[in-house]
Amino acid sequence: MVKFLSLLTLLLFCMIGQGFAQETSVPKKNSLDEFNRARELAFAGNREEARSICSEILNQNPKFYDARILIGRTYGWDKNFQPGRAELQLVLDEDFDNSDAIFAMIDMEKWAGDPNKAIFYCEYGLSFFPNEEAFLVQKVKLLQDVGEESKSLLVLDELLELNPGSEEGLALMKKYRSSKMVYKAIYQHDYEYFKEPYNRKWHLSSFQLARRNSWGTVIGKINLGDLISDGESFWSREVAKQFEIDAYPRVTKMSYAYLNYGYSPNNLFPKHRAGAELYHKLPEEFGVSAGMRFLQFNSDAGNKNIFIYTASLEKYYRKYWFSFRTYLTPENGNVSQVYWLEARRYLRDSKNYIGLELATGISPDEPRGNFSSPDVYKYKSRKLRLSYQDRLGTDRLLYLLKFGYEREEYRVNEKRKAFSFSVKLSYQF
């Protein structure tokens, strides 16, 4: 009897051990593979089965938010909006800036026939990603749907300022080209001051008119420059004039160009200036550009031509924008090098930000580089600028303020302090 019981116990242990081994030897299903299978089923119309698979995935991994978003979307496809909203809200409660969940919520409210709530979620997404083109495109279309044409064109302006080559933005602009709000009037005044080796004040007023077209943007400019020396009042006896035109044509879906030409009959500005640059968008919100600037100055010895080569790398990251640019000026076997780092922190949206600029040397794209003499590009400098942009009473009117400090060479190994202030007003109509 004892032998029988011992044999029975041994057999039971073997059976349990074999069952446990079989259970633990079964591999767990791969969540990503299961999710891909659920997506295929959902797109094929088998939504209930897709939701069931996603629920199993979430039982194993509650943080697999793509599965919960798919559940929410399939409820929306079935016009079962309340449980769909609930699933998406669960994601946003835990991962509040999940862009996929925000886009899904925008779609949910569109399908439910509530465009105003969809606009709310566009703005919610833009509060985290102010430079996300897809949110801006959605907002433009939704504003059009509710008859807010003026507001939609203001958002469209933001989109095309962010990327002048945006295919969807240009298509929307073409669609609404009959609208009156394709113009922008701009006034900018720059002031710079130094007192070594003599007092000198520099005023530059720029009057600009921009027009948005289906192919891009064109801007006409009249610049008035006034270099005030010792003994002169707020304005000098002679104001120099410069005439410029800028264009930002679309080249491809992911790229656009910058073209510039300027002429001045006065010696304070370059007699001729020209620029050309190609901008290209890269994945992950990166962008690159390369181009050149040309300046021709009049002097007692004749015309002096300056060729400057430039390239930049930029990156958008949520509420931040970073740009690094260099200007290279070859002359007599040497190459003058300028480096420019700019950063912006967006606040409410892409039109409201604070900025910081750190630079070495003189850029041909700043006021100081648009006058003076060709020798200015040889000298070294260190500069710091702070900026702030916001609306002024209405969405159509923007202002931009800049304050700068510079420690610059004016002769070899001799330096001076220079201060600058800039104000810019722009009105869209």
Amino acid at site 364:
P
pLDDT of residue 364: 87
pLDDT of residue 4: 45
* Tokens 């916001």, located at residue: 390
With beta carbons less than 8 A apart as the criterion, state whether 41 and 49 touch: yes
CA 186 to chain CA mean position, Å: 21
Percent of the chain clearing pLDDT 70 (strictly above):
88
Mean pLDDT of the chain: 86
pLDDT of residue 128: 92
The contacts of residue 366 (CB under 8 Å, 6+ apart) are: none
In order along the chain (429 residues), what is the average pLDDT of each group of 10 residues?
Answer: 44 44 42 89 91 92 93 93 94 94 95 92 93 92 85 88 85 70 91 81 92 90 85 70 95 92 90 95 92 88 86 93 94 86 92 94 81 69 94 90 90 83 94
With beta carbons less than 8 A apart as the criterion, state whether 204 and 225 touch: yes
Give the separation between CA 9 and CA 36, rounded to whole angstroms. 46
Question: Among 340, 370, 323, 327, which Cα is nearest to 221's?
Answer: 370
Give the separation between CA 295 and CA 376, rounded to whole angstroms. 12
With beta carbons less than 8 A apart as the criterion, state whether 52 and 71 touch: no
Give the separation between CA 262 and CA 371, rounded to whole angstroms. 12
pLDDT of residue 11: 46
Give the separation between CA 47 and CA 38, rounded to whole angstroms. 8
pLDDT digits (tens, 9 = 90+) for 52-87: 999 999 999 999 999 999 999 999 999 999 999 999
- Is residue 13 exposed (0-12), middle (13-18) or buried (19+ Cβ within 10 Å)? exposed
Give the separation between CA 109 and CA 92, rounded to whole angstroms. 15
Give the separation between CA 138 and CA 169, rounded to whole angstroms. 11
The contacts of residue 294 (CB under 8 Å, 6+ apart) are: 272, 273, 274, 275, 305, 306, 307, 308
The torsion of the CA quartet 251, 253, 255, 260, rounded to 10 degrees, works out to 40
Q: Length of the chain, please?
A: 429
pLDDT of residue 301: 67
pLDDT of residue 409: 80
Give the separation between CA 362 and CA 191, rounded to whole angstroms. 16
Helix (H, G, I), strand (E, B) or coil at 79: coil
Give the separation between CA 293 and CA 307, rounded to whole angstroms. 6
Give the separation between CA 217 and CA 182, rounded to whole angstroms. 10
Helix (H, G, I), strand (E, B) or coil at 28: coil
pLDDT of residue 76: 93
The contacts of residue 88 (CB under 8 Å, 6+ apart) are: 68, 69, 72, 101, 104, 105, 108
Q: Which helix (H) or strand (E) holds 196?
A: none
pLDDT digits (tens, 9 = 90+) for 137-155: 999 999 988 878 788 888 9
With beta carbons less than 8 A apart as the criterion, state whether 98 and 65 touch: yes
pLDDT of residue 177: 65
204-241 burial: b if 16+ Cβ within 10 Å, else e: bebebebebbeebbbbebebebbbbeeeeeeebeeebe
